[in-house]
């Protein structure tokens, strides 16, 4: 109790009473940023980063509820490593039952916060206990913990766990009662943003599953991969250009989600063409090309950044740097008869479209598909080098090779 009062007292002395209002408006600004994020991965990373910044916590993690189990999905720890670790593919991380025996389980079961001054001094009479295995395997010492339920309405969709509140000298202290209040509010907003991002992803995957039924080449895994590659290539390109980091992150988030929808227009192409084995006739190929225009049409009258970008990518992902792509210049994409125009020049194409064009071709070549074997990696990379400045924008090709490690990681993560 003694120590609890210290952090409160310190805050009040530092901020002379006006602190609550300032903190609340700061908190409001932080959570508004979260709500504008579309992509689940980036959002998880930002929830942890912002919560830790705001409550000055050394480490933190997120658990997500899936199939009635708690999955330990994201972790940050300034003392142990830089940035975030995504644990969703780590097969050593077993999901936990949602019951009172663990801290996260208790929080999820009751939808209530837990403020633990020292994880090693939890009284024996409470139902939950602290699992020391992470500390034992890493040498880290967990002391104070703040567990907040991520609840969307009645439903708990996860748990936000903050570890080791730091004082001005980076010493560890318990979380204060004020931290509980701010953390609780933050967690509510974060849960709202997370549920929305999960719904966006589900909706996109469902839409693409519909397209997949029509065209077996467009699988959910392909869509996830193209989104991931596009985000990475864009970020490398933007970094090479020295763009502002925050701007890069925002744009990267949008591109990842919008690129997943690149072939959504295929839902409008007839089965006889989509499922035709063997080569297309010229006439069939001309119809096939219309999936670009059909895709863009789906976003008619949209005004959000995400929809506008998705429409742009759907329309232009088969354009080429040398102007030999399709659908080319079109007077009115909503006209009844679509006439494909002369190919657009590189200058007419957004960076998102140029990036997605490379991501899509790379994935098509390197994956095994029903009608063809995968090319070897060397052969694919050679082709990309050869097409630098022809099919593909040279700057985009350079960015692709700069970030090839993360592209490989994305490919491993989303396998068929």
The size of the chain, in residues, is 416
Question: Residue 314: exposed, middle, or buried by beta-carbon count in 10 A (0-12, 13-18, 19+)?
Answer: buried
Of residues 375, 277, 291, the one with CA closest to residue 326: 291
Count of residues touching Fe ion (by CB under 5 A): 2
Nearest-angstrom CA–CA distance, 265 and 250: 25
Residue 174 or 227 having the CB closest to Fe ion? 227
For 187-210, give the DSSP string: HHHHHHHHHHHHHHHHHHHHHHHH
> Under rule CB under 5 A, which residues in 353-382 are in contact with Fe ion?
360
Residue 146 or 352 having the CB closest to Fe ion? 352
Site for Fe ion contains 319 (CB under 5 A): no
Question: Considering the complex, what minimum distance in angstroms separates the CB of residue 317 from Fe ion?
Answer: 6
Question: Considering the complex, what minimum distance in angstroms separates the CB of residue 265 from Fe ion?
Answer: 8
Residue 145 or 264 having the CB closest to Fe ion? 264
> Under rule CB under 5 A, which residues in 273-312 are in contact with Fe ion?
none
Q: For Fe ion, which stretch binds (CB under 5 A), given 152-160, 177-185, 260-268, 306-314? A: 260-268
> Under rule CB under 5 A, which residues in 166-185 are in contact with Fe ion?
none
The catalytic site residues sit at 266
User: Do residues 48 and 81 touch, judged by C-beta distance below 8 A?
Assistant: no
Residue 58 or 360 having the CB closest to Fe ion? 360
* 296 three-state secondary structure: helix
Of residues 157, 158, 350, the one with CA closest to residue 262: 350
Residue in the block written with tokens 């109790």: 1
Question: Considering the complex, what minimum distance in angstroms separates the CB of residue 361 from Fe ion?
Answer: 9
Q: Which of 41, 215, 232, 263 binds Fe ion (CB under 5 A)?
A: 263
Question: Considering the complex, what minimum distance in angstroms separates the CB of residue 360 from Fe ion?
Answer: 4
The two most distant CA atoms of the chain are separated, in Å, by: 81
Q: For Fe ion, which stretch binds (CB under 5 A), given 2-10, 61-69, 258-266, 338-346? A: 258-266
Q: For Fe ion, which stretch binds (CB under 5 A), given 85-93, 172-180, 255-263, 382-390? A: 255-263
Nearest-angstrom CA–CA distance, 76 and 238: 25
Q: Using only C-alpha atoms, what is the Rg of the chain?
A: 25
Question: Considering the complex, what minimum distance in angstroms separates the CB of residue 222 from Fe ion?
Answer: 6
Q: What burial letters (b/e) apply to 18-28, b meaning 16+ CB within 10 Å?
A: eeeeebeeebe
Nearest-angstrom CA–CA distance, 33 and 70: 26
User: Do residues 104 and 159 touch, judged by C-beta distance below 8 A?
Assistant: yes
Nearest-angstrom CA–CA distance, 149 and 341: 54
User: Do residues 70 and 161 touch, judged by C-beta distance below 8 A?
Assistant: no
Q: For Fe ion, which stretch binds (CB under 5 A), given 35-43, 192-200, 261-269, 336-344? A: 261-269
Residue 45 or 263 having the CB closest to Fe ion? 263
Residue 215 or 253 having the CB closest to Fe ion? 215
Question: Considering the complex, what minimum distance in angstroms separates the CB of residue 387 from Fe ion?
Answer: 17
- Binding interface with Fe ion (CB under 5 A): 263, 360
């Amino acid at each position: 109790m003694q120590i609890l009062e210290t952090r409160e007292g310190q805050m009040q002395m530092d901020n002379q009473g006006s602190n609550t209002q300032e903190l609340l408006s700061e908190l409001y600004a932080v959570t508004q940023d979260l709500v504008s994020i579309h992509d689940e991965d980036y959002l998880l990373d930002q929830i942890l980063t912002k919560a830790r910044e705001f409550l000055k916590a050394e480490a933190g993690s997120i658990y997500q509820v899936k199939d009635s189990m708690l999955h330990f999905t994201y972790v940050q720890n300034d003392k142990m490593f830089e940035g975030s670790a995504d644990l969703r593919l780590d097969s050593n991380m077993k999901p936990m039952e949602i019951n009172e025996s663990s801290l996260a389980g208790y929080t999820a079961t009751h939808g209530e916060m837990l403020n633990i001054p020292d994880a090693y001094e939890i009284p024996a009479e409470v139902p939950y206990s602290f699992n020391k295995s992470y500390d034992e395997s890493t040498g880290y010492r967990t002391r104070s913990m703040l567990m907040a339920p991520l609840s969307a309405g009645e439903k708990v969709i996860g748990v936000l766990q903050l570890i080791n509140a730091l004082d001005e000298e980076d010493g560890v202290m318990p979380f204060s009662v004020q931290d509980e209040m701010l953390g609780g509010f933050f967690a509510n907003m974060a849960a709202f943003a997370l549920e929305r991002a999960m719904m966006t992803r589900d909706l996109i995957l469902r839409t693409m599953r519909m397209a997949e039924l029509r065209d077996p080449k467009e699988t959910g895994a392909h869509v996830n991969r193209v989104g991931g590659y596009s985000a990475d290539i864009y970020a490398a390109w933007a970094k090479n250009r020295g763009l502002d980091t925050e701007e890069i992150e925002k744009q990267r988030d949008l591109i990842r989600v919008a690129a997943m929808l690149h072939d959504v227009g295929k839902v409008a192409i007839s089965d006889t063409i989509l499922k035709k084995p063997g080569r297309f006739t010229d006439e069939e190929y001309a119809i096939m090309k219309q999936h670009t225009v059909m895709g863009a049409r789906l976003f008619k009258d949209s005004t959000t950044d995400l929809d506008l970008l998705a429409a742009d990518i759907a329309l232009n992902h088969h354009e080429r740097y040398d102007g030999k792509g399709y659908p080319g210049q079109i007077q009115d994409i909503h006209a009844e008869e679509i006439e494909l125009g002369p190919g657009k020049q590189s200058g007419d194409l957004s960076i998102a479209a140029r990036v997605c064009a490379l991501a899509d071709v790379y994935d098509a070549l390197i994956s095994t598909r029903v009608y063809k074997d995968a090319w070897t990696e060397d052969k694919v990379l050679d082709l990309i080098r050869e097409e630098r400045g022809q099919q593909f924008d040279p700057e985009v090709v350079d960015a692709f090779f700069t970030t090839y490690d993360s592209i490989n990681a994305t490919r491993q993560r989303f396998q068929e």
